[in-house]
Copies of this chain bind each other. A is one copy, B any other.
Amino acid sequence: MIDQIRIETNKKKEIIPFTKQIENILEKVNRKEGVCTIFVRHTTAAISVGEVGEGTDQDFLEVMERIIPDIHFRHAHDPSHAWSHMASSLVGQSLSVPFQNKKLLLGNWQEVFLMEFDGPRERTVIISVHE
């Protein structure tokens, strides 16, 4: 089963958890268990899982700023755009999480989140569920 989620981002760079929206889709799935693949269809946003909140999201954005160096990008578009491509491909744009009884098998502190690196925009995330 393939479905999609729309996420409106509000800032240039932002971390947006959306575990709840994924589980709303799992509500409609008949299979008792399986794997949920989460894929973002953009080149300036990424998907990851981890702790969000208590400042961790700002920490993550600052760490990405420091990790991707300030090189002279060759990319024809504006340099911040090139930076967003690098950050997105490094974090990753696909994530697979097992589920059971309509819940993702996340740990207590884990959330699935979108990393916006070139907002604000409307982002499309594909949710694919298989046995």
Contacts of A71 in B (CB 8 A): 59, 62-63, 66
Which of B39, B63, B74 meets A68, CB within 8 Å? Answer: B63
Chain A residues engaging chain B, CB cutoff 8 angstroms: 2, 33-35, 37, 39-43, 48-51, 54-56, 58-60, 62-63, 66-69, 71, 73-77, 82, 85-86, 88-98, 100, 105-107, 109-110, 124, 126, 128, 130-131
Contacts of A74 in B (CB 8 A): 54-56, 58-59
Contacts of A100 in B (CB 8 A): 2
13 contacts between A and B (CB under 8 A): A2-B100, A33-B128, A35-B37, A39-B96, A43-B107, A50-B89, A56-B75, A59-B74, A59-B75, A67-B90, A92-B92, A94-B97, A107-B124
